[in-house]
């Protein structure tokens, strides 16, 4: 069920809890403290908060300078701008210079709905993952987001985190478990095929798994929260043991989770892979749910595709269209 | 259009955009209300445009660099006949062309904007092309004041002066608010006039909610040949709706039924008194 807490709020609450003990922990915002849900942090720890105004290049440069001086900066800014406007600062000042900057892209994917392509963030994973040394993470629900935030505060190095805007349904039953960067979580065991998802599409994958179970199909579900470094072993195991893979992501079909998985599969254990995402077009305007439905990022579509892939062999792994 | 009619038009547009935002349940209310008088002056009086021929080569160009405040623009373009007024009903709905930012699939929109800090560079390019082609077109670029924190604004400012683009008019909607509060608390800008002058622009301060003053300034530009003009338009965010004026949350707050009714009654009272002036004059 939707828990009513967006992941951005979970990050703020977790950092608030840690900031008192760790005076080097800092949060930066680009006229975005409201969208990042960071207003409580700004009021609680004004000395650990920096406002840079509408200046996404500046925010990353300043964060890199702070990190160089021993601070632990968390940059919070809309994913669309942070991942595009600031990408050179991310490449050079964060990744290349190996500074300890956490970059949180908020309202990613199509969370901004009818604001259009300028505000959708559907290329960010592709871009971020092409930068050597940058870790890329899409947490799913509130439990995972909290665990991830704690793990990242302990982790040294540049990380790009992408989260959405709205409350997210739980995918974990409880608050247990550890977040290990780079290790996929097997959410459901299965033998006929594997559905790999990340971020908010993990919920869709789990729902599809239920539908498939009713249809007598045993689907494995992997939560690939870390897109880079990718858990290659989990992917290869899925390919070997289940023979078919469907990936689901709130991202362009080019260069994201599906591409990362396919790169491993094609080189290490070729099996059919079907990449579900947003096709190569400016995404249609609408609410997230409407956009998801339009592009077939739904449990029903995943079930259809799975059954077709298992059945007729009419599916070709190399077709590129998204549904 | 004479300025009395422009004032009435602005009140009408404010009512239209509030209804549209209310219906859609989303929109940037404050910044649209603050720039309505600027857009009304341009689209009903100053700019050389032809709604029947939106791509007319000799037209003046308008770029909404602060693309989030597109609502006033949608209402004005519909009213001027660039597309049917009924289409305003689709604002922000699934599959619409009238999204929450300028979209050049819609006649009358030159470029897609929405990521702040892009508009002025585009405008420099357009003004430069007009010069090189020997066309008389002018280019008007509306920016937010919070937007001034983007470095790209200043790169374009430099280029506009360097190329002596006196056919270029930059306008800053100086309402002194951005999302997180007053601009001077978020990232100080003052003295903004001196900054632009230092970058080689001819700076003209004006009351940006006074259509008489705006029309005078726009019609006089360029006052100095060989220099781009920067109109520093002092405005009120949320202008025309008493309870939204100067209130940061109205940046993207959507009026509920009660607030809409109140706002419309205020604006129709204003319209009524403007009609009276007209009646008195007649
Ligand atoms: C590059 C970029 N960063 C952030 C935003 C998000 N954003 C939209 S409106 C806005 C505030 C704009 O303030 P201002 O320029 O003062 O405009 P106004 O007050 O007139 O609405 C911000 C930060 C954006 N659209 N583009």
B148 lines ligand 1 (CB under 6 A): no
Strand ranges inside chain B, DSSP E: 61-64, 139-144, 168-174, 177-178, 181-182, 202-207, 229-234
How many Å lie between the centroid of ligand 1 and the Cα of residue A114? 16
Does the pLDDT at position B113 exceed 80?
A: yes
- The whole model's pTM is what? 0.94
pLDDT at B69 over 70: yes
pLDDT at site B277: 85
Cα dist from A107 to A66, A110, A308, B27, whole Å: 25, 8, 34, 16
DSSP symbol at A71 = -
What pLDDT is attached to residue A311? Answer: 86
* pLDDT over 50 at B210, yes or no: yes
Q: Is B17 left (phi over 0), alpha (psi -120 to 50) or beta?
A: alpha
Q: Name the minimum distance, in Å, from the CA of B269 to any CA of chain A.
A: 33
Q: Which residue of B has its CA nearest to A286?
A: B94
Q: What is the pLDDT of residue A2?
A: 61
Report the C-alpha gap between B144 and A269 in whole angstroms: 53
Under 8 Å between Cβ of A80 and A118: yes
B281 band by pLDDT with thresholds 50, 70 and 90: low
Question: What average pLDDT does range B101-118 have in this prediction?
Answer: 98
**Has residue B156 got a pLDDT over 50?**
yes
Beta carbons within 10 angstroms of residue A41's beta carbon: 25
Alpha-carbon A185 to chain mean position: 14
DSSP summary character for residue B248: G
DSSP run (H or E) holding A75:
strand A72-78
User: For position A15, what pLDDT does the model report?
Assistant: 98
Would you write out chain A's pLDDT as a tens digit for each of its 323 residues? Answer: 566 799 999 999 999 999 999 999 999 999 999 999 999 999 999 999 999 999 999 999 999 999 999 999 999 999 999 999 999 999 999 999 999 999 999 999 999 999 999 999 999 999 999 999 999 999 999 999 999 999 999 999 999 999 999 999 999 998 778 999 999 999 999 999 999 999 999 999 999 999 999 999 999 999 999 999 999 999 999 999 999 999 999 999 999 999 999 999 999 999 999 999 999 999 999 999 999 999 999 999 999 999 999 985 544 443 333 33
Task: Give pLDDT tens digits for B255-274.
Answer: 999 999 999 999 999 999 99
3-state secondary structure of A323: coil
Contact between A17 and A24 under an 8 Å Cβ cutoff? The reply is no
Which among B99, B115, B183 is the nearest to A285, CB-wise? B99
Give pLDDT, residue A176: 77
C-alpha of B266 from chain center: 22
pLDDT tens digits, one per residue of B240-254: 999 999 999 999 999
- CB contact under 8 Å between A53 and B26, yes or no, is no
> CA nearest A62: which of A70, A47, A54, A73?
A73
pLDDT at A312: 53
* Contact present, A286 and A293 (Cβ < 8 Å): no
Alpha-carbon distances of B168 from B60, B102, B178, rounded to whole Å: 10, 20, 25
- Residue closest to B218 by CA, chosen among B200, B226, B206: B206
Q: Enumerate long-range contacts of A207-213, CB under 8 Å, 24 or more apart.
A: A207/A299, A208/A248, A208/A299, A208/A302, A208/A303, A208/A306, A210/A299, A211/A299, A211/A300, A211/A302, A211/A303, A212/A302, A212/A303, A212/A306, A212/A307
Enclosing domain of residue B107: 3-281
CATH (domain of B114): 3.40.50.970
- Distance spanning both ends of chain A, measured CA to CA: 27
Ligand 1 center–CA B66 separation, angstroms: 7
Q: How many CB atoms lie within 10 A of CB B2?
A: 11
Q: What tokens appear for A143 in the block? A: 């439990």
* pLDDT recorded at residue A322: 36
Please give the Cα distance from A165 to A55 (Å, whole number). Answer: 21
- How far apart CA B227 and CA B206 sit, in angstroms, is 18
Which residues of A participate in catalysis according to the annotation? 56
Interface contact B101-A116, CB threshold 8 A: yes
What residue's CA is closest to ligand 1, atom 25?
B115
Q: Half-sphere exposure of A125 toward its Cβ, with a 13 Å CA cutoff?
A: 32
Q: What is the pLDDT of residue A177?
A: 83
Q: Which residue of chain A is at minimal alpha-carbon distance from B116?
A: A54
pLDDT value, residue B280: 63
Asked if the Cβ–Cβ distance from B180 to A29 is below 8 Å, we say: yes
Q: What is the mean pLDDT of residues B65-81?
A: 97
Q: If we measure between CA atoms, which residue out of B215, B221, B202 comes closest to residue B43?
A: B215
| Segment holding B212, helix H or strand E | helix B211-220
CB of B110 closer than 6 angstroms to any ligand 1 atom? no
pLDDT by residue (tens digit) across B169-201? 999 999 999 999 999 999 999 999 999 999 999
Q: Indicate the number of domains in chain B.
A: 1
Q: pLDDT over 70 for what percent of chain B?
A: 99
* Count of positions (residues) in chain A: 323
Residue B212 has what pLDDT?
96
Residues of chain A found within 8 Å of residue B94, distances taken between Cβ atoms: 284-287, 290, 294
Contact by Cβ (8 Å): A189, A97: no
Per DSSP, helices labelled H in A179-323 are: 201-214, 232-242, 257-268, 288-294, 299-311
Q: Which two tokens stand for residue A87?
A: 């990408």
CA–centroid distance, A32 to ligand 1, in Å, is 9
d(CA A113, CA B20): 17
Total residues belonging to chain B: 282
């Amino acid at each position: 069920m939707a828990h009513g807490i967006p992941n951005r709020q979970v990050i703020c609450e977790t950092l608030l809890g840690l900031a008192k003990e760790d005076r080097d922990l800092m949060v930066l915002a680009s006229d975005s403290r409201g969208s990042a849900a960071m207003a409580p942090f700004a009021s609680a720890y004004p000395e650990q908060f920096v406002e840079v105004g509408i200046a996404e290049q500046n925010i990353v440069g300043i964060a890199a300078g702070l990190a160089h001086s021993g601070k632990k900066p968390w940059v919070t800014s809309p994913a669309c701008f942070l991942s595009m406007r600031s990408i050179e600062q991310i490449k050079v000042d964060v990744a290349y210079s190996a500074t300890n900057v956490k970059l949180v892209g908020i309202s990613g994917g199509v969370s901004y709905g009818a604001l259009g392509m300028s505000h959708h963030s559907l290329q960010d994973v592709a871009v971020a993952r092409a930068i050597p040394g940058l870790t890329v993470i899409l947490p799913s629900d509130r439990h995972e987001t909290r665990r991830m935030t704690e793990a990242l505060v302990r982790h040294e190095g540049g990380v790009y985190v992408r989260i959405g805007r709205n409350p997210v349904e739980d995918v974990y039953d409880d608050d247990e478990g550890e977040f290990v960067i780079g290790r996929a979580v097997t959410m459901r065991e299965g033998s006929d095929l594997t559905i790999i998802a990340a971020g908010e599409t993990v919920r869709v994958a789990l729902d599809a798994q239920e539908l498939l179970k009713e249809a007598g199909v045993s689907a494995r579900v992997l939560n690939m929260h870390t897109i880079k470094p990718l858990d290659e072993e989990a992917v290869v195991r899925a390919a070997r043991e289940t023979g078919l893979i469907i990936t689901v992501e709130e991202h362009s079909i080019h260069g994201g989770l599906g591409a990362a998985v396919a790169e491993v599969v094609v080189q290490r254990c070729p099996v059919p892979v079907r990449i579900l995402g947003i096709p190569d077009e400016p995404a249609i305007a609408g609410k997230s749910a409407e956009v998801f439905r339009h592009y077939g990022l739904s449990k029903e579509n995943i079930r259809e595709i799975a059954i077709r892939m298992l059945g007729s062999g009419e599916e070709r792994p190399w077709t590129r269209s998204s549904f | 259009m004479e300025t009395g009619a422009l004032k009435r038009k602005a009140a009408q547009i404010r009512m239209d955009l509030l209804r549209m935002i209310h219906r859609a349940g989303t929109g940037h209310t404050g910044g649209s209300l603050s720039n309505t008088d600027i857009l009304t002056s341009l689209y009903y009086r100053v700019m050389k445009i032809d709604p029947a021929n939106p791509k007319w080569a000799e037209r003046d160009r308008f770029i909404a660099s602060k693309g989030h405040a597109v609502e006033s623009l949608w209402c004005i373009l519909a009213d001027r006949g660039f597309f049917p007024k009924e289409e305003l009903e689709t604002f922000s709905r699934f599959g619409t062309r009238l999204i929450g930012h300028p979209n050049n699939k819609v006649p009358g929109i030159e470029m897609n904007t929405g990521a702040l800090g892009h508009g002025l560079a585009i405008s420099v390019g357009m003004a430069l092309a007009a010069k090189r082609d020997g066309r008389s077109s002018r280019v008007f670029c509306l920016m937010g004041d919070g937007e001034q924190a983007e470095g790209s604004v200043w790169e374009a400012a430099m280029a506009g002066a360097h190329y002596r683009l006196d056919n270029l008019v930059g306008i800053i909607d100086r309402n002194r608010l951005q999302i997180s509060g007053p601009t001077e608390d978020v990232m100080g800008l003052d003295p903004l006039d001196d900054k632009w002058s230092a970058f080689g622009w001819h700076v003209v301060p004006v009351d940006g909610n006074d259509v008489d003053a705006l029309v005078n300034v726009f019609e006089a530009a360029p006052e100095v040949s060989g220099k781009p003009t920067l109109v520093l338009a002092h405005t009120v965010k949320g202008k025309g709706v008493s309870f939204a004026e100067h209130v940061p949350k109205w940046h993207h707050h959507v009026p509920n039924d009660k607030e809409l009714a109140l706002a419309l009654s205020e604006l129709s009272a204003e319209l009524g008194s403007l009609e009276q002036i007209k009646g008195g004059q007649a």
